[in-house]
């Protein structure tokens, strides 16, 4: 029987099946047979609810459940299998060739229309938020979720059947400690009339306001989430939809397996359900259930205070992605403080990295390997290690390799330039070689030599012009020398 036939003749909406059971129409304040908020969810709940362990947890044995998928309508068997420490959650599509595995991560999200879908390669799983919510809410860290279809069974539209399944699998502690992502700075996202912010907190707390587009059925709830609270206050809350949205969802190929067995339908100020509301604020509780499921795609249990206004899968995903970026930054470690692009007054020597920070030159025209020491403010000692691998030796000269004199002169200019840049504020500055005088080349410099440069400023004109005397030696003997003039200019002038 169609929903139209079961609820109101002639409405012409097909595909949303009303199975056996009597529909209930009533105001939100009237819910017959509603269980106590301290709902008992199955054998063993009291045992797990009191556990505050920081150890990782898995299941003692595998457990399975069957049902129909909400959107695809397919019959599906879902099996939870134990997994080792640090394994995390992994979905396994046993119906596909090779039984591909998909680890739920925010960067794999592909579709967020009334469900959360992730895809890796040709394998995808959808509507995963309820089973992930149950696993996270029950404090399970490591499990393989096997399915023979693309979507878990919707069951009664809540996470309660998955909680019961988890409990039947006998959760057990593992050797390793649980690792949390504890937020240390606010993260917020906004999408239309929806907003969600995560604030630093030493536990997981969710404050949620749920409302539809008409501003009615507004509900608010704030809870600190632990296994006890989750299983008694959140897990039984069912998914819901606005009556007017059903036809459009069917046109999109969604909710093929939907019925009043697995959803609450809101029509105006009335609710349509096979049973009364399980909580007077069941809608906001289900929104919290979905948030818990969606943020598991972060990859680690979260400690934060989430404040959500009119949340949905799309904005939940945006928050999770923003949190994932924060987590990745933390895993990479603190950013290294960038080295200054100038010679600092307190530096007594420079290695090659600092030379590259200071000079614009790059291979093969970096002619200084190290500044060994600065002598006062006007002198320095630098070295250039001359290697047979220098590109100029291929032609200067192949059978008698000699370092060209003009490159020795370039090394003198670079040494003197560093010395001048050290005298004042050199940020954004560079030195330009202007002229050379009294240049002499006394001995050849060959591969294997270490060229030692002694540079001393002799004249300066403010902070823009200077003259320096530079002497180059190898093994204590002078090989070249000269007097150089150079200018300090803005780096932008030579770009």
d(CA 226, CA 20): 35
pLDDT tens-place string over residues 183-199: 999 999 999 889 999 99
> Angle CA(256)–CA(262)–CA(264) in degrees, nearest 5?
105
Q: Structure pTM? A: 0.62
- DSSP letter (8 states) at residue 358: H
Whether residue 313 lies in the annotated active site: yes
Lowest-pLDDT range, 17-21, 55-59, 391-395, 471-475? 17-21
Q: State whether residue 357 is helix, strand or coil.
A: helix
Cis peptide before 43 (omega within 30 of 0): no
Q: For the residues 14-20, what does the mean pLDDT come to?
A: 35
pLDDT in tens, 197-213: 999 999 999 999 998 76
Q: Is the pLDDT of residue 22 over 80?
A: no
Which among 230, 338, 240 has a CA at the least distance from the CA of 288? 230
Q: What is the mean pLDDT of the chain?
A: 84
Pairing of strands 117-120, 123-126: antiparallel
CA distance 279 to 31: 8
Helices (H) and strands (E) in the chain, counts: 10, 26
Q: How confident is the model at residue 461 (pLDDT cuts 50, 70, 90)?
A: confident
Identify the pLDDT of residue 398. Answer: 85
Please give the pLDDT value at position 259. 72
Half-sphere exposure of 90 (CA within 13 A, CB side): 17
pLDDT of residue 258: 67
| pLDDT for residue 12 is more than 70 | no
| Distance linking the first and last C-alpha atoms of the chain | 76
Catalytic residue among 130, 217, 305, 313: 313
Q: CA–CA separation, 305 vs 376, rounded Å?
A: 56
Side-chain half-sphere CA neighbours of 7 within 13 A: 26
SS3 label, residue 456 = strand
Does 248 score more than 90 pLDDT?
no
pLDDT confidence tier of residue 33, bands split at 50, 70 and 90:
very low
Among the ranges given (45-54, 111-120, 129-138, 329-338), the one the predictor scored with the smallest mean pLDDT: 45-54
Going by the DSSP 8-state scheme, the letter that residue 259 receives in this structure is B
User: 217 catalytic, yes or no?
Assistant: no
Q: Looking at 80-84, 273-277, 473-477, which range is the least confident one?
A: 273-277
Which tens digits make up the pLDDT trace of 46-103?
443 334 448 999 999 999 999 998 877 889 999 999 999 999 999 999 999 999 999 9
Say how many residues make up the chain. Answer: 495
Domains, the chain, in order of start with CATH, read 24-332 (3.30.230.20), 352-494 (3.10.129.10)
- Can you give the pLDDT at residue 495? 61
Check 30, 87, 361, 396 and give the catalytic one: 396
* pLDDT for residue 4: 31
């Amino acid at each position: 029987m169609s929903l139209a036939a079961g609820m109101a003749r002639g409405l012409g909406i097909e595909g949303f099946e009303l199975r056996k059971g009597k529909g209930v129409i009533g105001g939100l304040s009237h819910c017959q047979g509603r269980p106590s908020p301290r709902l008992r969810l199955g054998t063993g709940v009291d045992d797990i609810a009191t556990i505050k362990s920081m150890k990782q947890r898995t299941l003692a044995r595998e457990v399975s459940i069957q049902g129909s998928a909400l959107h695809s309508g397919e019959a599906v068997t879902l099996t939870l299998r134990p997994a080792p420490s640090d394994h995390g959650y992994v979905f396994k599509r046993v119906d596909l060739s090779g039984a591909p595995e998909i680890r739920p991560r925010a960067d794999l999200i592909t579709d967020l229309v009334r469900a959360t879908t992730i895809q890796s390669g040709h394998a995808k799983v959808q509507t995963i938020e309820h089973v992930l919510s149950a696993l996270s809410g029950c404090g399970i860290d490591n499990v393989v979720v096997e399915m023979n279809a693309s979507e878990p069974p919707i069951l009664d539209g809540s996470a309660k059947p998955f909680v019961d399944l988890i409990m039947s699998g006998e959760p057990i502690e593992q050797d390793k400690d649980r690792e949390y992502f504890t937020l240390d700075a606010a993260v917020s996202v906004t999408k239309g009339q929806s907003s969600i912010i995560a604030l630093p907190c030493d536990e997981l707390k969710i404050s949620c306001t749920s409302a539809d587009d008409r501003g009615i059925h507004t509900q608010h709830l704030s809870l600190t989430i632990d296994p006890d609270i989750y299983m008694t206050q959140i897990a039984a809350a069912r998914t819901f939809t606005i009556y007017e949205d059903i036809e459009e969802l069917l046109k999109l190929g969604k909710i093929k397996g939907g019925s009043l067995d697995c959803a609450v339908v809101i029509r105006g100020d009335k609710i349509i359900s096979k049973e009364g509301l399980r909580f007077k604020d069941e809608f906001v509780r289900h929104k919290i259930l979905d948030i818990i499921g969606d943020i598991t795609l972060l990859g680690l249990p979260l400690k934060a205070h989430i404040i959500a206004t009119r949340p949905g899968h799309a904005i939940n995903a945006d928050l999770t992605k923003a949190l994932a970026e924060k987590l990745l930054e933390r895993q990479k470690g603190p950013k290294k403080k960038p080295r200054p692009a100038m010679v600092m007054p307190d530096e007594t020597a420079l290695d090659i990295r600092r030379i590259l920070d200071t000079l614009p030159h790059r291979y093969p025209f970096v002619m200084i390997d190290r500044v060994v020491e600065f002598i006062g403010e006007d002198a320095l000692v630098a070295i250039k290690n001359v290697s047979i691998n220098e590109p100029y030796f291929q032609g200067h000269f192949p059978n008698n390799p000699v370092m060209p004199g003009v490159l020795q002169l370039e090394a003198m200019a670079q040494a003197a330039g560093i010395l001048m840049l050290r005298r004042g504020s050199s940020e954004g500055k560079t030195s330009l070689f202007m002229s050379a005088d009294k240049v002499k080349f006394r001995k050849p410099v060959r591969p294997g030599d270490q060229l030692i440069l002694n540079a001393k400023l002799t004249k300066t004109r403010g902070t823009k012009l200077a003259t320096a005397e530079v002497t180059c030696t190898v093994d204590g003997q002078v090989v070249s020398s000269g007097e150089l003039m150079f200018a300090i200019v803005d780096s932008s002038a030579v770009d």
